[in-house]
Structure 1
């Protein structure tokens, strides 16, 4: 019994010594309140650092969200622009795809005269080119297949015994003309050109002047010609 009392007293003394010596360095073996205070202070500091890092990440995230929103807006705008460009390109391709043009001469080989007579339609039967088939070699009339700007050129050849030249008509109305009076030369040529705005279905052709002494001539050399083509749609 006595031995147990001594052991308990020794243990109590030892424990009190450990508690009392908590302020001296390297004497505490158990976890002490002062160590807990230091650890709590260290944890608070780390917590503040983590909170600061978290706040920084939140700001970065907000910046990234703003940038993503800007990129999405730019993508929508780019999509709209691409759609518009695709539409414009489609229209342009359609316009470029309208290739209309013709060129013809009066004679296919042998001698051909128109006149002498007044206001005779000049029918150019020898077709060199007729893309789009807008020119009719049976009637001498060009019919516009679409609304657009068209350029026409023509030449006439005649002998000096007659007046020569031609009138270019749009839907039966005079647009431009050439004229060559008879004279001392054995033969003479005339030429003319014009750009016209035509609607789909408008007709263009050449006639002789309204004089009884008018005549145009052609042969295998193809002096008398009529040509036209689409410059661009309107």
Structure 2
């Protein structure tokens, strides 16, 4: 009887140790799940990212030509959901990893010697160019692209060196983007 009682005490102590170990493991798993849920909540709150802007705010303005490429600053902001576009710098900063769609147009009155062209730039890499050159009239070009961006990646439009851009209250030169889906 004493041997059985001792054996039961040892079994009970072993079960208590195993239970404590399992509880600790479960707590670790629950903490990991809470962290994942918090990350997912953050992604859900940043799902809405969209902006649309034009160069001019009303007065007719010709920009360029310059000896080097310059970042265009689109001052007339129509939409900036998520505040990812900065109208002081002309730069969009990705708030969440995902696939984004960007569209831009560039145009100016032709003078026979300069084109109207711009690069869409991701971080410091030229991605696509929109460009037009003609001898007279208004020249215009536009492009669109889908890009995979990491948090903090920047996108802007740069006027190509020795090129022109023109804008007025008709807002011919535009830059727009939106998050298609987070990754």
Normalised-by-shorter TM-score class: 0.7 to 0.9
- Aligned with residue 108 of structure 1, among 26, 36, 57: 57
- Which structure has the highest strand share of the two? 2
Could you say which residue in structure 2 is the equivalent of 1:149? 99
Q: Structure 1 residues 132 and 93, CA, compared in 2 at 3 Å: closer, same or farther? A: closer
Assess if the C-alpha contact under 8 Å between 2:131 and 2:140 holds in 1: no
In structure 1, distance between residues paired with 2:58 and 2:130:
24
Does the alignment pair 1:216 with 2:165? yes
Does the alignment pair 1:170 with 2:122? yes
Q: After the TM superposition, which residues 115-134 of structure 1 pair with which residues of structure 2 at under 5 Å, given as runs?
A: 115-117=64-66, 118-134=68-84
Assess if the C-alpha contact under 8 Å between 1:164 and 1:182 holds in 2: no
What TM-score, normalized to structure 1? 0.58
What TM-score, normalized to structure 2? 0.73
* Shift in Å, 1:91: 4.2
Gaps of 5+ in 1: 1-86
Assess if the C-alpha contact under 8 Å between 2:118 and 2:159 holds in 1: yes
In structure 1, distance between residues paired with 2:41 and 2:82:
18
- SS of 2:44's equivalent in the other structure is helix
Report Cα offsets for 1:38-91 as digits up to 9, x if no partner.
Answer: xxxxxxxxxxxxxxxxxxxxxxxxxxxxxxxxxxxxxxxxxxxxxxxxx99x94
Assess if the C-alpha contact under 8 Å between 1:168 and 1:205 holds in 2: yes
In structure 2, distance between residues paired with 1:112 and 1:143:
26
Could you say which residue in structure 1 is the equivalent of 2:21? none
In structure 2, distance between residues paired with 1:112 and 1:124:
12
Could you say which residue in structure 1 is the equivalent of 2:47? 98
Q: After the TM superposition, which residues 193-208 of structure 1 pair with which residues of structure 2 at under 5 Å, given as runs?
A: 193-208=144-159
* Shift in Å, 1:205: 0.2
Mean Cα displacement is larger for which, 140-149 or 155-164?
A: 155-164
Assess if the C-alpha contact under 8 Å between 1:95 and 1:232 holds in 2: no
Which of 1 and 2 has greater Rg? 1
Task: Kindly report the root-mean-square deviation, in angstroms, between the aligned alpha carbons of the 2 structures.
Answer: 2.1
- Which structure has the highest helix share of the two? 1
Q: After the TM superposition, which residues 58-69 of structure 1 pair with which residues of structure 2 at under 5 Å, given as runs?
A: none
